[in-house]
Amino acid sequence: MFGLVGWIVGWLLTLFIIVMIGRMIVDWAVTLQARGDWVWKVRRVTHAVTEPVLSPVRKVLPPLRFGGFGLDLAFTVVFIAALILRSIVW
């Protein structure tokens, strides 16, 4: 039974990691001033999926500011944690 649960959790973590990568790409596209309505639709979806996980972590680890550049530590920590959890589950 745990094998099936582990398999499902592993796939959910894989999908979450893919959405996190999509969020990163879309956020960079917005930063680079990408045009198109699709960018905002994809951004809305990726943020809706990932923000409930990132927001509590961001309260503990706020972004680091380097002048006009910000490094989101919460994103990095959650992304690495998802990779580690997926490898443990699988």
pLDDT band at 13 (very low <50, low <70, confident <90, very high): very high
DSSP 26-90: HHHHHHTT--SHHHHHHHHHHHHHHHHHHHHHHHHSPPEEETTEEE-HHHHHHHHHHHHHHHHH-
The fraction of the chain above a pLDDT of 90, given in percent, is 57
Give the pLDDT mean for 25-40: 84
Comparing 31 with 45, the larger pLDDT belongs to 45
Taking residues 77-81, report their average pLDDT. 96
Domain span holding position 33: 2-89
Number of structural domains the chain divides into: 1
Give pLDDT, residue 2.
Answer: 66
What is this structure's pTM?
A: 0.84
